[in-house]
Chains A and B, each alone.
Chain A
Amino acid sequence: MTESQIRFRRMKDLPSTHLLGTGTPMCAGCGGLEALHEIYDILGEKTVFVNAAGCMTLLSVYPFTPVRGSWLYTAMASAPAGAQGIRDALDILLERKAITAEEDLEVVVLTGDGAAYGMGLSATSGAMERNLDFVYICYDNEGYGNTGQQYSGATPHGARTATSLGSHGFGGYKKDLFSIWAAHRPAYVATVIGAEPLDLARKIEKARTLHGPRMIIALAPCPTGWDYDPKESVEIGKLAVKTGVWPLREYIDGKVVHTKMPHPRIPVEEYLMRQGRFRHLFEPQRDQQLLGEIQQRVDAYWSGIE
């Protein structure tokens, strides 16, 4: 049993004090905010968030902020470079003994899938190749959510978005960012979801104790973008895992490990039918072909693993 598992054996081991303030302008039921709450409780307030343009940019609106630590908004494409500048500057100040070790901060990039999967990928790749000591959190709501859910490189096949309104939804396929990141051989890569807080806590705790690039993708169920009632967020998040649509996995020391096997794995349509963005697969008539294709791709993923 690893140290991070020892700290978080069961739900009651999770932090009981919550660091992120309330009253933010995030939508009700935001799965990204749910994950961020859980992550922040473990990373703690000796952090500086380096934010890329996206929904979470609105967490800190002058003169208010829900974070107890520090924050820097950068731009959509270059948050990892902003993190590099802060990390390097802190290291220079530490080396020169201009600041004490107690003044040091964990540098944490906070970015949506629009930046992480697309515009910011080059800066992210650069930060990994330079072995930057930082934590990277992508809250992935599978589209450009802040602008009204247009499709992005993270949008799943068949989903209706503001720019894929046709009867078959989005024609492309969700980019495998986990594998793209893992190919850089960083210290750590993990997928998490707020609806599985114990798995998330163990991974963030592990990331916290490592050095180098620690890359986290949190699937972020999005009531407004995915079109469902906000109270369903946790349930939909759980279904993403149970259906195998969102594999919970981590990459460490050159190996990929699945941390929660969906067993028994339930049909993917249990997940799809709860969301308005997939309603065209069921109404006015069942799109058996597309449903079959989506199920087949999930089955193919798991066939080598289960």
Chain B
Amino acid sequence: MTRRLLTGNGAAAWGARLARADYIPAFPITPQTEIIESLGQWIDTGAMPGRMVTFESEHSMITAAGSAAATGVRVFSATSSQGLLYGMEMLYTVAGWRAPFVLVNVSRGLASPITLEPDHNDVLAARDCGFLQIHCATCQEVLDSILIAYRLAEDPQVRLPVIVNLDGFYLSFTREPVELPDVQACANYVGSYDAENVRFRASAPESQAVAVLGGGPYSYFRYETQLAAMNGLAVYDEVADGFAQVFGRLHGAVEAYRSEDAEYVFVMMGSFATKAKEAVDQLRNAGWRIGLLRPRLVRPFPAARWSELLAGKRGAAIIDQNLSFGMGGVLHTEIASALYGMNAVQPVLASFVGGLGGRDISPQEFFEMAGVIRDAAQRGESPPPRLLYTEDELREVRKLQAVAQVEREELAKNEPKG
């Protein structure tokens, strides 16, 4: 086992290499590109067996990922943001093929306005497509989760593709010490891919992904996918435990940080949750009984686990780095629906939206949110949802608008008359 400094993208590439991916359909997009560049270089220099093909779009890339997996090889691919959405039709389509592979998404905010920095609207847009989802907060977790994801995806009870998500910039380009697990131990853990009957062979003609007529057969196949996804809950625990036994790192479906005796918890996913951890430590020093719960497994959603983890809490501040326009934070809705009717005494939930397009969430804001949830719990009623934004930020935007206005007026003055 060796430790080296790796970016999140570097860790993702190592994950694919250690999982011995056979085939990598690719398409460049910021902030993901370093992943396919690393894999391409390894393949070109012979450091890694396998084949990489750059397609003309993510739509084609995901089609090829699905069809190669449906032919019986192990597939890895990666994308981000607009790319994930450009391929959205095929995300839904290939999930229905029940051809397992792993797709890394490097989260980045969606247009409009176009931006490069992260939030989770891209990956949550893929929430309902049939891909399972694992969300990471550290570079180590990215590497480990890819290995775990292959076990989950290829399990005969599941056989669905899996998205492993990491945040653009904050993880993709941040170097952290990462333990590179032993090559042979990884090979033993992931095993070889047994395609069973999902494959194309001359001696065994197979029609895959054919059309259906009517709601009966359609519902049959859609329900099959639902049952397979739900099987993923138990399979995930099993393969994550197996990983912990071999490699000594347990990546549970939900990370619980100092939450056992907590009255209040922050709920957050992705790398920004490490900021929440820091805030938890500081608040604990100031006498708060507060913790953090971080969803790693988002699909399938471990609703019963959430109900257990939140039982007896007075309040939970759910901080969404995404925004479903006309409703609010997606994670807030998911947690609320997991809790409804489950326990006699429910924690008060407070919804916050922040960190959009890479906007920072400061320690002061975490303290403020803790205060809001404590007050709400005392009153016994949920506060209205809040969109995190400071007066300073608003003033900065006003300044930009003022500059633009001045420039426009200046240009208008110099325009030739007539």
Residues of chain A having any CB pair with chain B under 8 Å: 45-46, 48, 50, 57-58, 60-63, 65, 67-75, 77-86, 88-93, 99, 102-105, 122-123, 125-126, 129-130
B93 / chain A contacts, CB cutoff of 8 Å: 74-75
Interface flag for B213 (CB, 8 Å): yes
A18 to B64, CA, bound (A): 31
**Size of B's binding interface in residues, CB under 8 A:** 41
- In the complex the two chains form, is A77's CB within 8 Å of B59's CB? yes
A60 / chain B contacts, CB cutoff of 8 Å: 207, 210-211
A60 to B203, CA, bound (A): 19
Interface flag for B212 (CB, 8 Å): yes
In the complex, residue of chain B having the shortest beta-carbon distance to the beta carbon of A78: B63
B209 / chain A contacts, CB cutoff of 8 Å: 72-74
Q: Give chain B nearest CB distance to A63 CB in angstroms.
A: 8
Q: For residues 104 through 159 of chain B, which have their beta carbon under 8 Å from a beta carbon of chain A?
A: none
Given contacts A74-B93, A82-B64, A123-B60, contact A90 B207 (CB under 8 A): no
Q: For residues 17 through 63 of chain B, which have their beta carbon under 8 Å from a beta carbon of chain A?
A: 22-23, 25, 50-51, 53, 55-57, 59-61, 63
Interface flag for B224 (CB, 8 Å): no
Residue in A67, A75, A102, A122 with the greatest tally of chain B CB atoms within 10 Å: A75
- In the complex the two chains form, is B67's CB within 8 Å of A62's CB? no
Given contacts A62-B211, A71-B210, contact A92 B202 (CB under 8 A): no
Which stretch of B68-76, B250-258, B329-337 is in the interface? B68-76
Interface flag for B89 (CB, 8 Å): yes
- In the complex the two chains form, is A126's CB within 8 Å of B205's CB? no
In the complex, residue of chain A having the shortest beta-carbon distance to the beta carbon of B209: A73
A89 / chain B contacts, CB cutoff of 8 Å: 22-23, 67-69, 71-73
A102 to B22, CA, bound (A): 21
Residue in B97, B201, B217 with the greatest tally of chain A CB atoms within 10 Å: B201
B64 / chain A contacts, CB cutoff of 8 Å: 81-82, 84-85, 88
Interface flag for B247 (CB, 8 Å): no
Interface flag for B90 (CB, 8 Å): yes
A172 to B81, CA, bound (A): 37
Interface flag for B208 (CB, 8 Å): yes
A79 to B209, CA, bound (A): 13
A63 / chain B contacts, CB cutoff of 8 Å: 210
Q: For residues 231 through 287 of chain B, which have their beta carbon under 8 Å from a beta carbon of chain A?
A: none
A42 to B25, CA, bound (A): 32
Interface flag for B66 (CB, 8 Å): yes
